Structure 1
Amino acid sequence: MMKTITRLHKAMMVLEYFTSHSWAWSTENMSMLQNHMSPEDKKVFNFDVRQLHWAEYMEDYCLGTKKYVLNEELSGLPAARKHLNKLRNIRYTFNTVLVVLIWRVFIARSQMARNIWYFVVNLCFKFLSYFRASSSMR
């Protein structure tokens, strides 16, 4: 536990300046530069953030922070990802069970909810049987 607290404290101290100050950003110069660039320059010096793949960018950002700012090893990442996937699956299972239980209680107490449920299930079965029939005709 002390190792974790020490690492957390170190991370807080390294990032304190950036997290505790207020920043004002202006994009006027960037917009002016982009408007004055030729099409060839725009291809070479592409700095349009709308074209970034944000999920990949954030993953690289976090990995870079972990490796170069916090000086931590990246060898534990596969195990951490496996653990996060396990926790995600547990959360999805728990949420599904919770929704089903709440829905069952709601259906058990309301005739209108029961009728809507039977209608939706019947509609799904008709939809599936239509696709089975149309796929067997080919």
Structure 2
Amino acid sequence: MLKLMNRLLRTISMLEYFINHSWEWSTNNTEMLLSELSPEDQRVFNFDVRQLNWLEYIENYVLGVKKYLLKEDLAGIPKAKQHLKRLRNIHYLFNTALFLIIWRLLIARSQIARNIWFFIVNFCYKFISYFRASSTLKV
């Protein structure tokens, strides 16, 4: 735990300047320059940030901070992604189970909820039966 805390404090001290300060950015001059360029120059000097894949950009940014600023090994990332995927699945499973428990309690106490539930189940059964029957018919 001490090693983890020291890493956290070191990271915070490296990023402290960026955490505690704010900047305002203006893109007016860049947009004006882009509009003044010919289509050929726009293709050659492509600096339109609206075309960036921001998810990929942020992922590369974070990986760069981890590798070059924090000097951490990137070998543990696949294992960490797998762990996060497992945690997300557990989260979904927990939410589904909680929903079903609450729904079951609601059905046990409310005739309207019970009727809605039976309607949904009956509709799904008919829908599946229709597709089973139609898939067995061949022209």
Normalising by structure 1, we get a TM-score of: 0.90
Structure 1 stretches lacking a partner, 5+ long: none
- The question of 1:109 aligning with 2:106 is answered no
1:16 is aligned to 16
Where does the alignment leave 5 or more consecutive residues of structure 2 unmatched?
none
Counterpart-to-counterpart distance in 2, 1:128 and 1:44:
55
Q: CA 1:88/1:34 → structure 2, altered by over 3 Å: closer, same or farther?
A: same
Map 1:81-96 to 2 at 5 A: 81-96=81-96
| Equivalent residue number for residue 6 of structure 1 | 6
CA distance in 1 between counterparts of 2:59 and 2:22 reads 25
Q: Distance in 2 between matches of 1:45 and 1:135?
A: 55
Which residue is equivalent to 2:128? 128
Within 1, Cα distance between the matches of 2:12 and 2:111?
55
CA separation of 1:33/1:89 partners in 2, compared to 1, >3 Å: closer, same or farther?
same
Q: 1:76 aligns to what SS in structure 2?
A: helix
- 1:50 deviation in Å? 2.9
Give the 3 Å change call, closer, same or farther, for CA 42–134 of structure 1 in structure 2.
farther
Matched with 2:25 is 25
Greater mean deviation of Cα atoms: 7-16 or 46-55: 46-55
Measure the CA separation in 2 of the matches of 1:41 and 1:7: 46
Once the two structures are aligned, what percentage of the paired residues are identical?
Answer: 60
Deviation (angstroms), 1:130: 2.3
Q: Which amino acid aligns with 2:131?
A: F
- Residue 68 of structure 1 deviates from its aligned partner by 1.0
Deviation at 1:11, TM superposition (A): 1.1
Change (3 A) 1:54 1:126: farther
Query: Cα offset for 1:91?
Result: 1.1
Shift of residue 22, structure 1, vs aligned partner: 2.1
Query: Following TM superposition, by how much is the alpha carbon of 1:15 offset from its aligned partner in structure 2, in angstroms?
Result: 1.1
Give the RMSD, CA atoms, in angstroms: 1.6
Residue range with higher mean Cα deviation, 80-89 or 28-37:
80-89
| Distance of 1:134 and 1:49 partners within structure 2 | 50
> Measured at CA, do residues 129 and 45 of structure 1 come closer, stay the same or move farther in structure 2, by a change above 3 Å?
farther
For the structure 1 residues 46 and 126, does the alpha-carbon distance in structure 2 shift closer, same or farther, using more than 3 Å as the test? farther
Q: What letter is aligned with 2:124? A: C
Structure 1 residue runs of 4+, over 6 Å off?
A: none
